Structure 1
Amino acid sequence: MKLKFLALPLFLGMALAVGACAPAGTDAPADTTAPTEDPAVAPAEDPAVAPTEEPAEAPGTEAPPQ
């Protein structure tokens, strides 16, 4: 008899836990693939990052041939 009183709350608790987790994936995800046109929304460039292209040398600064 004592087993029935313990089994019912356990069964109901498991049913509530499964029911609370099941519909979590049904929400539509936000569209994060759309490009941002607004400069206020776009991330600012980091000034600490060096440019990837090499600067052009000024004319006449090349090393003389050896």
Structure 2
Amino acid sequence: MKAFAASGRPLAANCRGPWALVEADVLRGKTLIAYPSLRTDVTNAGAKALEAVTMVLLAPSTRAASLARPNHP
């Protein structure tokens, strides 16, 4: 994971994946979007955690979305 992170390619993680990035110590100096329950951990790992709704175009017909529902922290 450290070699991949050092390559400069974009990183993506969902569900419990961000904790793997925290444990691998690859978030320092990065800015990322994090679910509210993860923000303290990624901030303590040296990352800047933002709250936002995102839609990223991965391929012409494939999209990935991240949304934190306000009433489901």
TM-score tier (shorter): under 0.3
- Structure 2 length as normaliser, TM-score? 0.16
Please, what TM-score do these two structures have when normalized by structure 1? 0.17
Q: Which has the higher strand share?
A: 2
Which is greater in Rg?
1
